[in-house]
Amino acid sequence: MSIVTRGFRGRREPTAADLPPGQYLTRDFPVLQAGPTPSVRLDDWRFTIRTEAGAEQAWTWPQLLGLPSEKPTVDIHCVTKWSKLATSWQGVSLDTLLAAVDTAADYALVRSYGGYTTNLPLEDLLDGKAWVVYRYEGEDLPSAHGGPARLLVPHLYFWKSAKWVTGIDLRTEDEPGFWETLGYHNYGDPWREQRYTGD
Nearest Cα neighbor of 103 from 57, 64, 165 is: 57
CA atoms 79, 128, 175, 186: torsion sign: positive
pTM of the model: 0.89
**Homologous superfamily assigned to 45-192:** Oxidoreductase, molybdopterin-binding domain (3.90.420.10)
Please compute, for residue 193, the number of CA atoms within 13 A of its CA located in the half-sphere on the CB side.
Answer: 7
Q: Which residue has the higher pLDDT, 42 or 17?
A: 42
> Is the preceding omega at residue 148 within 30 degrees of 0, hence cis?
yes
92 close to 64: Cβ distance less than 8 angstroms: yes
Tell me the domain boundaries of the chain.
45-192
The DSSP line for 71-83 is --EEEEE-TTSEE
Q: What percent of the chain has pLDDT over 70?
A: 90
Dist. CA 79–CA 186, nearest whole Å: 13
Kindly state the average pLDDT of the residues 113-132: 97
Dist. CA 113–CA 93, nearest whole Å: 20
Residue 9 pLDDT > 50: no
Kindly state the average pLDDT of the residues 114-126: 97
Strand partners, 77: 83
In the prediction, which pLDDT does 100 show? 87
pLDDT band at 4 (very low <50, low <70, confident <90, very high): very low
56-111, pLDDT tens digit by residue? 999 999 999 999 999 999 999 999 999 999 999 999 999 999 998 999 999 999 99
